Amino acid sequence: MKKIMMILFVSLIAIGLAGCSSDENVIEFWTPLTGDDGAYMNELVDEYNEQSEQELEIKHVITSDMYTKLYTVMNSGSGIPDLTLIHADRVPSFAKQDLLEPMTSIMEAQSELNEDNYLSEAWTAGIVDGTQYTIPLDIHGSAMYYNKDLLAKYGVEHFLDDDIVTYDEMLSLEGKLDEGDYVVNDALMGWVILAQIQNLGGDIQIDGEPAVNTPEMKQAIEQTKAIADAGLMTPYGEDGYLMFQSGNVLFSTDGTWSSTGHAQVESLNFGVTNIYSFEPDTFHNRASSHLFSMMNNEERTDEKEAVIGDFLEYIRENSIKWAEAGQIVASKEVNESPEYEKYMQSFFTKNEAEEDSLHIYTYEHYPYVAEAIDTYIADLVHGEMDIDEGLKEMQKVVDDKVAEGSLDIENAETDAEE
């Protein structure tokens, strides 16, 4: 009975979606931008439509469960959007399942949509087996904000002389902080650990198989736990993000997009740097990317593809608006412009070393790995669970999901988190 009800439910979704994507006069553009960034994308779309001489308009459709709906319409073959904005970690699995149409025709029609004009890490995230499936919009990822007043209070402004804060530097403050103050919070801790994996020369896969229970993962967790054990990390279960905004935390390890929220706190005198690391000469910031893509759809006309190409070229030239959302704009024409320098996230493209620090995971089973890390990491770092036991459980969880043979589309990154 439950199976029958599920089939009926999926069918109803398909019918509903089919009814919203059949207009030949518009380009249906689906995104998962449910946060404030959705409003910025609305502005970009509106600006494009106003200046465009094309007969077709772009229609921006925000869906909180976009990946679920994409699988539904692709299975039904009806209601498929003309253009989508997907996360980088979705590209390998979508391409493997033959869900994506290559960007070949778009790139041929718009010659400036090429690798030279975008951040390399964002561009290559859309390549699978030598085929370009996406055009990048941005890179968004880990960032570490710092409270300038607290750094001065404790005389540690020199931590930032090389733009890298190390574990040893943070541990040097043990026993030196006023009660209620902390060195660092545990915001986006899963992303912090993924950055450390790169710092240690590790990976989340070995020969195509997921690798969670590794020496690098254990070392990253143990070293981060040392910060918590020393009483320097915000307490387990507390909202470290808000504690940073309240002025009680030196460093906040959240995301590039968080600069907009922090800026709304008038009393917060803050800046941005890289995620902390083991050594000052090796550092990474775990990142992802929003990528324009086209799902395979035989009903998409040449006329629509021409407008899509025109729209993507417009975004390449005019996406400074997207910087207002706190994102690292992928277009070099934008991120190398003087206007872009006023945005805090320009820190991550100020030189080659910073650009190289941005690491996007494109492993096919990354979503499983990320879900397992996010589920267990707080317990492990705060000592609520034995690390060896936790790593074994995490590995088993990921292995079991891979064995099931289908991507758990409910566990996609969403822009409510980004």
Q: What is the pLDDT of residues 97-130, one digit of tens each?
A: 999 999 999 999 999 999 999 999 999 999 999 9
When pLDDT is cut at 50, 70 and 90, the band that residue 21 belongs to is very low
Angle at CA 219, nearest 5°, toward 214 and 224? Answer: 130
- Other Cβ atoms less than 10 A from the Cβ of 212: the count is 23
Residue 326, phi then psi, degrees to nearest 5:
85, 15
Q: What is the pLDDT of residues 168-210, one digit of tens each?
A: 999 999 999 999 999 999 999 999 999 999 999 999 999 999 9
DSSP labels, 228-257: HHTT-BPPTTS-HHHHHHTT-EEEE--BGG
- Other Cβ atoms less than 10 A from the Cβ of 268: the count is 18
Q: Which long-range contacts (CB under 8 A, 24 or more apart) does 309-312 make?
A: 309/105, 309/106, 309/109, 309/110, 309/113, 310/52, 310/54, 310/110, 311/27, 311/48, 311/52, 311/58, 311/83, 312/106, 312/110, 312/113, 312/135
Nearest CA-CA partner of 368 in 340, 346, 400: 400
Domains and CATH numbers, the chain: 2-140+288-350 (3.40.190.10), 141-287+363-411 (3.40.190.10)
Q: What is the pLDDT of residues 358-367, one digit of tens each?
A: 999 999 999 9
- Of 411 and 326, the one with more pLDDT: 326
User: Residue 405 has what pLDDT?
Assistant: 67
Residue pair 31/86 in contact (Cβ under 8 Å)? The answer is: no
User: Residue 138 has what pLDDT?
Assistant: 98
Question: How do the residues of the chain divide into helix, strand and coil, expressed in percent and rounded to 5?
Answer: 50, 15, 35
What three-state secondary structure class fits 132? strand
Rounded Cα–Cα distance for residues 158 and 240 (Å): 24
Between the CA atoms of 350, 167, 371 and 39, what dihedral angle is there, to the nearest 10 degrees? -40
Residue pair 277/201 in contact (Cβ under 8 Å)? The answer is: no
User: Residue 1 has what pLDDT?
Assistant: 42
Q: Is 237 exposed, middle or buried (0-12, 13-18, 19+ CB in 10 A)?
A: exposed
Q: Which residues of 354-380 are buried (b: 16+ CB within 10 A; e: fewer)?
A: bbebbbbbbbbbbbbbbbbbbebbbeb
Which whole number is the average pLDDT over 216-231?
A: 98
388 has pLDDT over 50 = yes
Q: What is the pLDDT of residues 27-86, one digit of tens each?
A: 999 999 999 999 999 999 999 999 999 899 999 999 989 999 999 999 999 999 999 999
State the sign of the Cα–Cα–Cα–Cα dihedral 163, 328, 126, 213.
Answer: positive
Overall residue count recorded for the chain in this entry: 418
User: Residue 24 has what pLDDT?
Assistant: 78
- Give the side-chain half-sphere CA count within 13 A for 252: 29
Tokens in use for 113? 């949509």
When pLDDT is cut at 50, 70 and 90, the band that residue 288 belongs to is very high
Which whole number is the average pLDDT over 256-277?
A: 97
User: Residue 152 has what pLDDT?
Assistant: 98
Percent of the chain, pLDDT > 70? 91
Q: Which residues pair with 101 in a beta bridge?
A: 294
Place of tokens 């790995």: 369
Under DSSP, the state recorded for 414 is -
- Report how far apart, in Å, the C-alpha atoms of 337 and of each of 107, 186, 315, 320, 343 are: 23, 34, 15, 9, 11
Which whole number is the average pLDDT over 229-251?
A: 98
Q: What is the pLDDT of residues 292-343, one digit of tens each?
A: 999 999 999 999 999 999 999 999 999 999 999 999 999 999 999 999 999 9
Contacts of 224 (CB under 8 A, 6+ apart): 167, 189, 192, 193, 196, 381
When pLDDT is cut at 50, 70 and 90, the band that residue 25 belongs to is confident
Q: Which residues pair with 252 in a beta bridge?
A: 145
DSSP labels, 253-314: --BGGGHHHHHT-TT--EEEEPPPBSBTTB--EEEE-EEEEEE--TT--HHHHHHHHHHHHH
90 has pLDDT over 50 = yes
Tokens in use for 107? 């790139």
User: Residue 16 has what pLDDT?
Assistant: 44
Element (H, E) at 191: helix 189-199
